[in-house]
Structure 1
Amino acid sequence: MTVISFIDTSVLCNLVPVPGRDQNAERVRSEMSARLGRKERFILPVTSVVETGNFIAQLSDGRLRRETATRLHDILRLVCEGKAPWVLHDLAWDRDFLQQLLDGADTLTSYVEHAASQLGAGDLLIINERLQYEQRSQIRAAIWTLDEKLGSYS
């Protein structure tokens, strides 16, 4: 059975790479290669793109900011052209999605409780995107993350 994984911001920042957030770039690239060799499929959630883009926009060096934005742009262009090793997740940003987020997706803990225990809204959004994917496809998916807190929900 093919493994399907949602790519978290912590992984995407190492793949781009985003200066200051790419401490594990070599390890992540090596792991990506190994996972692709095992025919793992990847989904790029909107949250990872937004958060990575925000980290790029916050870089203080304008030259690095432009170079890094160009790398993310090129990756996203490959996604649009169907040439990247991952696909987009079609997401309905609607009342049901928002209610699932507030309810904590499938974690049995509300957004407020997650926030109080330091699991951010971005991480919970990825969990929720995965839940919607699983509900539509009836296929279990993992989350590839370097974040220990989010990883506990993978």
Structure 2
Amino acid sequence: MTELWNADTPKLIHLPSGRMIRGRGLRYDLPEGQTPTFAVHLTDHEQPSSPWESIWVPWRDFWLPADPMDAMRKLRLAYERAPSERVEVCCGGGVGRTGTALSAICVFEGMDPKEAVKWVRQNYHPRAVEVPWQRRFIHQVFAADTSGSGQA
């Protein structure tokens, strides 16, 4: 098992389940200290390779993922890996797309969409989930997650 995030890691959220996930903006320097072991990049272009495992979700700034179902699968993977790895979710600025992804992950925790957005804004960034269609995406995650398909 990998050493998990230190509790004082900047931009780290502690989910009700105990999972810890760091949100970050890629346009800023990598914070000092621990590095992720697994990252989900929410960007309009694939990022250069990093020393840790990463996956890419094509997602333009202020928009939605190019393939919402693929995005849900990749965010679910991040959620499932968080109990035993240092997971990071990141976009350009670390606010809108990252906040939307973290809210979707909160839906996996059992929160309803409105509660998830509120929780992420209180525990990560007050402007997380910047536009109405990102809030609708979280409702889409909720609908897929509660449909019993287990695919979200």
TM-score w.r.t. the length of structure 1 is 0.31
Higher strand share: 2
Q: Which structure would you say has the larger RCO, counting Cα contacts within 8 Å and 6 or more residues apart? A: 1
Higher helix share: 1
If you compute each CA radius of gyration, which structure gives the higher value, 1 or 2?
1
